[in-house]
Amino acid sequence: MGHRVREEPEPETLSYELGAAREASRASTQILSRSLPASHSLADSASFQTCASRSASSGTRTQVAAGLGGSYVRDLRQRLAAGRDGRYDLAALLRILRALDVAPAVFFGKVFGSLDPIALTQLETRRLGEPPEIVARVGDLLLFEEWQPPGEFSEHVRDLDAHRYRDAREAGRFARTDLEQVAAGLRPLAWGIPLLAVYGSALRMTEDHDAAQQTLVLALERAEPTGDQGLLGDLLQRLAYAVADHCGDYGRASRLSARATDYHLLAGDMNAVGKTFVDRGIWLRKLDRLDGAVAMERRALELLATDEHRNRFAAFQMLGLSYRELGEPERAHQYASLAAELAPRVGPWMAARLLRLRARLAVDRRQYQAAEAHLREAIEVFQPISSGEAALETTELVRVLLLLGRGAEAHTTASTMARFIIPLEERSPVAAAAALDLLRCGQVGRGITLEMVDRVAAVLDEERARPPGRARSGR
């Protein structure tokens, strides 16, 4: 656990760090020889021309790499994410690199930093306990297995992964059963890492956050020797969500997602790059960098395949949320409507989260009955799988009922918070205390005001992101 990731590797150690990434040179060459969407020619970049002229006579790759300074790195990252008109002339860039005798892997390593995912996770995640028993058993077996692609099982993994958006608990049970069969030798061991990925994500969605992180970190440790850039990128994306949900550290999640972008670039998979841009837009919005979130999501939509329904849905939803917070309700409504068109294709979990946005937009327009319908549907979805989400939606419903002048029904609805108190207490005493205030008023049939509901909703929203060990103490 003692490794440390350097964002700017020292020139003398750069080659050794990059050498750890299998076939990085081949993958980088493939990417550099393509014409990726972005701004104008990279070869015309003033910062690149400067470092090229300074390094042309050096005769060493590491000195040339050292000449690619921070301004050029920022220029490449910003232009790739910004999605301005025009294209990078990457073929010209590749010719310049060859003329300077710079290996593409060295160049990409300087731009994107260390390619070691294990060092990254050791730096970016808090020290975890032991993983679930079945995860540890499969992990131990994977230590002795040479990596082989899962082959026909890939379709099974995709189906199982998609199923968690319909029923996360059931998907988790299925993944666990498959892992047990792998451990018993009844299924190929090559299925192990993809199954750990799905199992970790299912644990996250059912709010078993410690086990989710432990599972995904172990999967990353076993995947690192495979040199499979796409697999490593996928696991980093999953871990970013686990970190965000567990401790609310969106800066850390953003860094993990940025590294996932790097791996998918090395794999030459621009659709996967688009998926990472969706994630990074989510974290930027959480960090109150709304303009950056909008730019990232719009760029994602340019890269995502037209049949990439879940990620396009998420991008539309994030644009709706961001524009609402930017005070542009019409554009927010436009993107929420685009997301709603894809809702039947993404499963109830994601669709229910859109319902919250649509309810808030309806309240903004004083369409309270529409907001009520959206919230009731969301509560029905969240109640069996997420006490935090369901409690928040119930609180929002109480608010809408007050706005409709149905005070007695608002108090009756508040009394249903009783089913969330014990699960909330296990996670956050503060959230449980806020919900208990609302519950008590509901039980006596008086005392609920809009101000009180807004306070409870704010506490529940904040506390959802806190892990059990970091939640504030209750009263």
Q: Where are the domains of the chain?
A: 11-115, 116-268, 347-475
pLDDT score recorded for residue 465 = 55
Neighbouring-strand partners of residue 37: 87
pLDDT score recorded for residue 422 = 87
Q: Establish whether domains 116-268 and 347-475 are of one fold.
A: yes
What tokens appear for 124 in the block?
């970016």
* Spatial contact of 377 and 355, defined as CB atoms under 8 Å apart: yes
CATH architecture of 347-475: Alpha Horseshoe (1.25)
pLDDT score recorded for residue 136 = 93
Beta carbons within 8 Å of 74's beta carbon, 6+ residues apart: none
pLDDT score recorded for residue 393 = 95
Residue that has been written with the tokens 């319902």 in this structure: 355
The candidate with the shortest Cα–Cα distance to 296, out of 241, 349, 337, 257, is: 257
Instruction: Count CB atoms within 10 A of the CB of residue 426.
Output: 13
Beta carbons within 8 Å of 83's beta carbon, 6+ residues apart: 37, 38, 295, 298, 299, 302
Q: From first to last of the 475 residues of the chain, give the pLDDT tens digit.
A: 333 333 433 333 333 333 333 333 344 444 444 433 333 334 344 444 444 444 333 333 333 333 444 444 445 445 444 444 334 444 555 555 555 555 554 555 555 444 444 444 544 444 456 789 999 999 999 887 766 766 656 788 889 999 998 899 999 999 999 999 999 999 888 899 999 999 999 999 888 888 999 999 999 989 888 888 999 999 999 999 999 988 778 999 999 999 999 999 988 999 999 999 999 999 999 999 999 999 999 999 999 999 999 999 999 999 999 999 999 999 999 999 999 999 999 988 889 999 999 999 999 999 999 999 999 999 999 988 788 899 999 999 999 999 999 999 999 999 999 999 888 887 788 888 999 999 999 999 989 999 999 999 989 988 765 544 443 333 3
Percent of the chain past pLDDT 90, that is, above it, reads 51
Average pLDDT, the chain: 77
Q: Please say whether the structural domain 116-268 has been given the CATH code 1.25.40.
A: yes
Instruction: Count CB atoms within 10 A of the CB of residue 96.
Output: 16
Ordered DSSP codes for 185-201: TSS-GGGHHHHHHHHHH
Q: What b-and-e string marks burial along 140-174, b requiring 16 or more CB atoms within 10 Å of the CB?
A: eebeeeebeebeebeebbeebbebbbebbeebbeb
Question: Which bin fits 127, alpha (ψ -120 to 50), beta or left (φ > 0)?
Answer: beta
Give tens-digit pLDDT for 55-83.
333 333 333 333 444 444 445 445 444 44
d(CA 474, CA 292): 36
